[in-house]
């Protein structure tokens, strides 16, 4: 399959790409997406989802969309449905330390590769939301807005998002002053105010602004937590 430059965003994700690959003989197609790539704190998560080669799954997962277009209650509701309907699904992550050490794009690829490594069935084709997984021998198609276009990717986006949100709620118990349970580490006004008042904590990404600027202005790397 060739990467398509022009595309139309459907009303809801479809099995267009999956069906084409199944017809070409790729029976284990994994959709991948990430959550937390742009956050100021915490890990980046990724999920891999392999759907059955049966078009009836489109009805079973009729409410699944790009996770950003779903409410928290909708994501939690469809999380279990995705897990039940899938042939296989897994979650991978890369820590804030790894993000700072190698950069967010390589760390995102690392999280995706970790998810793939845990699949019980080895995929023979990957559908990936936007990015290209580096150093991956499996053929793959990078789809801009893939979570809006491919049901496999949309399902992965929901699993990655719900898993990361759950982790960030746990971090909120350790570091309650930052409001991680509300903003999940993203750059809200509330989050910025907390950093200005309390300084960063150990799970903040030092390579991201405004955390990077905070350390630069103080000329030290001491944390408040």
Would you state the pLDDT for residue 4? Answer: 47
Q: Which own/partner pairs from 201-207 qualify as long-range (CB within 8 Å, at least 24 positions apart)?
A: 201/41, 201/175, 201/225, 203/41, 203/42, 203/96, 203/171, 203/175, 204/40, 204/41, 204/96, 205/39, 205/40, 205/41, 205/96, 205/99, 205/100, 206/100, 207/99, 207/100, 207/103, 207/104
Instruction: Report how many domains make up the chain.
Output: 2
Give 10-residue mean pLDDT values along the chain (225 residues): 65 97 98 98 98 97 96 97 98 98 98 98 97 94 97 98 98 98 98 95 96 74 51
Residues 198, 203: Cα–Cα separation, whole Å:
14
* Residue 7 in domain: no
* Residue 23 in domain: yes
* Residue 161 in domain: yes
Would you state the pLDDT for residue 141? Answer: 98
Q: Are residues 62 and 99 in the same domain?
A: yes
* Residue 11 in domain: no
Q: Are residues 162 and 132 in the same domain?
A: yes
Q: Are residues 28 and 137 in the same domain?
A: yes
Would you state the pLDDT for residue 216? Answer: 67
Domain boundary among 124, 150, 166: 166
Q: Are residues 24 and 93 in the same domain?
A: yes
* Residue 1 in domain: no
Q: Is 221 exposed, middle or buried (0-12, 13-18, 19+ CB in 10 A)?
A: exposed
Q: Are residues 150 and 212 in the same domain?
A: no
* Residue 55 in domain: yes
Residues 150, 41: Cα–Cα separation, whole Å:
28
User: For the whole model, what pTM was predicted?
Assistant: 0.93
Q: Are residues 137 and 85 in the same domain?
A: yes
* Residue 22 in domain: yes
Would you state the pLDDT for residue 6? Answer: 64
* Residue 131 in domain: yes
Give the residue numbers spanning the domain of 177.
Answer: 173-218
């Amino acid at each position: 399959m060739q990467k398509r430059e022009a595309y139309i965003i459907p009303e809801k994700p479809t099995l267009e790409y999956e069906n084409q690959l199944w017809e070409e003989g790729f029976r284990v197609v994994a959709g991948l997406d990430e959550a937390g790539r742009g956050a100021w704190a915490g890990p980046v998560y990724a999920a891999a989802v392999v759907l059955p080669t049966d078009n009836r799954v489109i009805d079973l997962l009729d409410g699944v969309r790009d996770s950003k277009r779903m409410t928290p209650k909708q994501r939690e509701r469809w999380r279990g449905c995705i897990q039940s309907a899938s042939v296989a699904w897994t979650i991978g992550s890369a820590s804030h330390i790894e993000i700072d050490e190698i950069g967010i794009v390589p760390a995102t690829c690392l999280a995706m590769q970790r998810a793939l490594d845990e699949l019980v069935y080895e995929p023979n084709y990957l559908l990936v939301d936007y990015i290209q997984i580096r150093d991956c021998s499996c053929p793959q198609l990078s789809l801009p807005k893939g979570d809006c276009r491919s049901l496999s990717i949309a399902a992965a986006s929901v699993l990655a998002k719900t898993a990361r949100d759950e982790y960030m709620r746990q971090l909120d118990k350790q570091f309650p002053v930052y409001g991680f349970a509300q903003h999940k580490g993203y750059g809200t006004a509330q989050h910025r105010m907390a950093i200005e008042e309390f300084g960063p904590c150990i799970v903040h990404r030092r390579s991201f602004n405004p955390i990077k600027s905070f350390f630069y202005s103080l000329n030290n790397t001491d944390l408040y937590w």
